[in-house]
Structure 1
């Protein structure tokens, strides 16, 4: 990462004004409004069938994304509308609020599959990059600045465009899948540990545990209480299929030392043809590593999935995880199915 005593505002020359793209191929551009949630959701699903068929966002997630407090819709969003009034492209770029070791301007841009090759992706990326530079240049911090996105390896046209623009393909990620109808290893918890179903009473401790567990993970930044609770409030968040592991500290008081969380987007079931749960987080606090807590809580979670009538468990993992997570998951029966890559420019 970049090491400097200069602030990002000193290091980056950003455009004073970012104008929306000029009309192109019958498409005009404007900022998003809350009324665009449904058309953006529909467009994202069409794009997903081509670029990432194993994953989609729910309507509530799109709404959450477009109405987030940290998003300035007038300046951080753009949507392309064709002559028939249909959304055919959109982009979002957000200056991430958590900035412990890194300042990130995270972006995404999508173009309807039927409108690719018309130059829309190029002008959309121009706009996103100009706005991202503005966001990074607004920071007085001396931390590294990233203009960053994640791209499925299937999205070959987007990857080629980003490569041609000088982006760094920094980190690979695997999607792993586990059939829970197959035998699940019985992995006991260590003495003194007990597992509880996740609930509001464990939210703050679990957030703290997550931040500690992911401190040494690629580009991970601590989540605020607001960010954690905001996700908990989404319909996809399934507390009933999420678990925390409690162990006593030196004072004898129990605390959350490990966790495995679940999201379920039933829209994906029809698209993929099977019922599954997605695991956004599995983690163990650093002082409690080496006690086989991660495989134990995963085994507990997989059995819960089977009992709930799910067929598979899905998660994403850093291909170069410092904790050896890929090997851990594969020992429990997960298999690699697809890849994505973190793509960025660093300042």
Structure 2
């Protein structure tokens, strides 16, 4: 599927192992394989949800040679049925099955549109060459960068949950999901850091970065990727985002990366898209978020 669809990101073995080991899901009921008469896998599906959440995420796909036979619709219908079965009636907010499709994957977009799911958001993947002069945005007086360390991981997690408390579609990350993020083979601790207020020792902002070696094959360049970036409410408006990204670019280039990349919620009210454009990032691909109401 990846060879045909050329998505910006593809699950590797560690991601798939994580799917089967998520503590809040039951792989016997929350994952699905479709195989042909010879036992070759031709389709897959999975659903996942946080405890108490009404938002169920669905993932799946069909072997390109087996598409246009109704298999994708069958996988989606299974996802919707399984998502409804997981609802307890105690969820907070609206209950939906949420799916994601690359905008340039016409068949996937058409499938989600045909089953009654509605477009609710767009996310844009952006990149910036690291040639020439890089932005140089200093931190405010009294603040410093502190590189990620394992003993600081829990403080990073709490800072992330606080920073994303008011972000669309975000839910707090528990210790297990956070551990997966910071122990993933693609995670780069040396590129990840917090902005710390020296006087109090408090984390004002943070950036986590990763490196996917397949980016070179997909896009033609190596790329340091900003996986997560957040600024806590009390420190917003101090230009910490451009300061962090300029520091990330410096670290990426020193490690031999050719580009810096990130993803952005296109409708983010904080003006993040405009900030990234001012720093030289340009769009590469766009992902569409679809929701199907479950109640």
- Alignment TM-score > 0.5, same fold: yes
Shift of 1:84: 3.1
Match of 2:20 in 1: 66
Q: Deviations over 1:202-256 (max 9, x none)?
A: 21121121112112211111111222122212111111111111004xxx42011
Correspondence 1:103 to 2:54: yes
CA contact (8 A) 1:213 1:283 kept: yes
User: Structure 1 length normalisation: TM-score?
Assistant: 0.81
Q: Which whole-Å CA distance do the structure 1 matches of 2:176 and 2:203 have between them?
A: 19
2:35 to 81, 88, 100: 81
Match of 1:274 in 2: 221
Shift of 1:139: 3.8
Q: Deviations over 1:181-215 (max 9, x none)?
A: 23211111100000011111221121121112112
Q: Which has the larger radius of gyration?
A: 1
Shift of 1:52: 4.1
2:63 to 91, 112, 119: 112
Q: Which whole-Å CA distance do the structure 1 matches of 2:214 and 2:26 have between them?
A: 28
Q: Which whole-Å CA distance do the structure 1 matches of 2:127 and 2:281 have between them?
A: 5
Segments of 5+ residues of structure 1 without an aligned counterpart are: 1-46
CA contact (8 A) 2:7 2:102 kept: no
Distance 1:315 1:49, change over 3 A: farther
Structure having the larger proportion of residues in strand: 2
Q: Which whole-Å CA distance do the structure 1 matches of 2:146 and 2:127 have between them?
A: 24
Correspondence 1:320 to 2:267: yes
User: Structure 2 length normalisation: TM-score?
Assistant: 0.95
Correspondence 1:343 to 2:258: no
Distance 1:209 1:57, change over 3 A: same
Segments of 5+ residues of structure 2 without an aligned counterpart are: none
RMSD over aligned Cα atoms: 1.5
Q: Which whole-Å CA distance do the structure 2 matches of 1:182 and 1:116 have between them?
A: 45
Match of 2:8 in 1: 54
Correspondence 1:235 to 2:185: yes
1:295 to 242, 254, 258: 242
Q: Deviations over 1:162-196 (max 9, x none)?
A: 21221110001111111112321111110000001
Q: Deviations over 1:112-134 (max 9, x none)?
A: 11110122112111111111111
Q: Which whole-Å CA distance do the structure 2 matches of 1:322 and 1:89 have between them?
A: 37
Partner SS for 2:135? coil
Q: Which whole-Å CA distance do the structure 2 matches of 1:268 and 1:63 have between them?
A: 21
Q: Which whole-Å CA distance do the structure 1 matches of 2:7 and 2:74 have between them?
A: 25
Q: Which whole-Å CA distance do the structure 2 matches of 1:341 and 1:198 have between them?
A: 32
Correspondence 1:127 to 2:78: yes
Q: Which whole-Å CA distance do the structure 2 matches of 1:152 and 1:49 have between them?
A: 14
Q: Which whole-Å CA distance do the structure 1 matches of 2:2 and 2:227 have between them?
A: 19
Q: Which whole-Å CA distance do the structure 2 matches of 1:150 and 1:221 have between them?
A: 17
CA contact (8 A) 1:150 1:342 kept: yes
